[in-house]
Amino acid sequence: MTAHDQELRRRAYEEVAKKESIANSDPHRQHFHIVPPVGLLNDPNGVMYWKGSYHVFFQWQPFQTGHGAKFWGHYTTQDVVNWKREDIALAPSDWFDKNGCYSGSAVTKDDRLYLFYTGNVRDQDGNRETYQCLAVSDDGLSFEKKGVVARLPEGYTPHFRDPKVWEHEGTWYMVIGAQTENLKGQAVLFASDNLTEWRFLGPITGAGFNGLDDFGYMWECPDLFSLQGSDVLIVSPQGLEADDFRYQNVYQSGYFVGRLDYNKPELKHGDFTELDQGFDFYAPQTLEDDKGRRILFAWMAVPDQDEGAHPTIDYHWIHCMTLPRQLTLSGRKLIQQPLPELKAMRRNEKNIQISMHGSSGLLPIEKPERAEILIEDIQTESGFSISIRGTAVFSFHKDEGIIKLERTSFDGKRTEARHCRMNDLHTVHMFIDASSLEVFVNNGEEVFSARYFPFPGNDEVTVSSTGKSAMSVGIWTLM
């Protein structure tokens, strides 16, 4: 480790020592979501199951609540409920990553953990350079940088980043999010036999493939894996126009299901489907654990989407991760369910039966800033709504076949909404943290993720129905 690297780490830890207690005093500080100790957190990186632990690294800016030269922070857990903060994994200290150790992934080989990440560099004139870099570890906790392993090929701008690596039939592959010289988004592939020397194979989809001539000006954070016999590409495209209920956020995150022909190489796939119907979801990344489960973590925010208006900035922190979700394929649709391990957070179970007719009632929630609500056996004439702490409303409109999530905007001045189509609603599974909501609809057919910032003391959760509705409700306090 160079002296400069040590100095950057020292300064980051000093910042944590100075400001973490302020961050922890924020009434909006999360109880059961991954947050940065101080500063800004964005993408999950290097998500990995290794030797009995789940590793989640994250893009971290320790010195401010805006973006900048990112570090890789690091959490581990054995049970997906109790997370341990580990030492900084990577600091932006070298010529090839001096303006940020940007997003990337992890694989294991011969008992070592390999991190691949993008070295973000600005030259003297502020022009961007990009390098795909490697760092290696024997214990999964401290990493030795090995430097640049792949460079920018011809035909692409330096918006070329976020390597995700996997093995297929004895060869390593790396998918990267790219922008062509014509300013269009693509996913490109590299291959390697030894993880250190990589050859460029070319684009596998994006502009010019699968009928996607105009599908965003940049694709970030690709993740390619096989699931139940299909290949799934998750990606975060930038530059899609809003279209009816779709693409309402500033940038999108979604997936294509198809088949990767490794010989060509080319991914043949169907349409793009957004992963989340809510306000705050971006740059998801998946791992496969020892039980063969495909598990997804995402950043619960969207870049450039009201980031400056988060009230947590006053407490020196911003953003969090989503809860981990297990992915399964049903036809060509990804189903997302909260990991069953999360049930270990449940305390003080209450079960009630509700039946309403043109009325509303308070749910008996002990701690609305850390609660789980599972609504099942729903029977409703025309729909119903759940209002959460005066700041968000989840509602089902049966006649229109629409589900809606509304929230008060971060500046408190507007109500904003996200929708999806849903003809029949049979379960609603809601995780409410101090400043986030995740609502799993119909056992993971759709998910709405959102930050929300209620005023302290605004604690009521109410269910209302204009016509007749009946449902059974389980309620827990979490952790």
412, amino acid identity: G
59 sits near ligand FRU (criterion: CB under 6 A): yes
Angle at 407 between CA 402 and CA 413, to 5 degrees: 130
Q: How far is the CB of 177 from ligand FRU (least distance, A)?
A: 6
Phi/psi at 8 (5° precision): -60, -40
- Total site size for ligand FRU, rule CB under 6 A: 14
User: From CA 266, how far away is CA 203, in angstroms rounded?
Assistant: 7
Q: How far is the CB of 106 from ligand FRU (least distance, A)?
A: 15
> 26, 94, 162, 406: which one contacts ligand FRU (CB under 6 A)?
162
> 26, 43, 94, 231: which one contacts ligand FRU (CB under 6 A)?
43
Show the site string, 111-130: x = touches ligand FRU by CB under 6 A, - = not: -------x------------
Contacting ligand FRU within 65-84 (CB under 6 A): 70
CB nearer to ligand FRU: pick between 322 and 477 = 322
Find the helix or strand (DSSP H, E) in which 120 lies: strand 112-122
Partners of 41 in beta bridges: 60
CB nearer to ligand FRU: pick between 220 and 406 = 220
Q: How far is the CB of 45 from ligand FRU (least distance, A)?
A: 8
CB nearer to ligand FRU: pick between 265 and 303 = 303
220 sits near ligand FRU (criterion: CB under 6 A): yes
The DSSP output letter for 8 is H
How does strand 383-388 pair with strand 392-397?
antiparallel
CB nearer to ligand FRU: pick between 60 and 396 = 60
Show the site string, 417-456: x = touches ligand FRU by CB under 6 A, - = not: ----------------------------------------
> 31, 161, 325, 451: which one contacts ligand FRU (CB under 6 A)?
161
CA dihedral for 379, 384, 390, 393, sign (positive or negative): positive
The verdict on whether 43 is a catalytic residue reads: yes
Q: Which of 43, 94, 276, 280 is catalytic?
A: 43
Q: Which structure tokens are listed for 335? A: 């189903």
CB nearer to ligand FRU: pick between 75 and 476 = 75
Query: Among candidates 128, 133, 127, which has minimal Cα distance to 151?
Result: 133
User: From CA 474, how far away is CA 28, in angstroms rounded?
Assistant: 24
Query: Among candidates 322, 459, 477, which has minimal Cα distance to 27?
Result: 459
Query: Among candidates 99, 100, 89, which has minimal Cα distance to 140?
Result: 89
Q: Which residues are catalytic?
A: 43
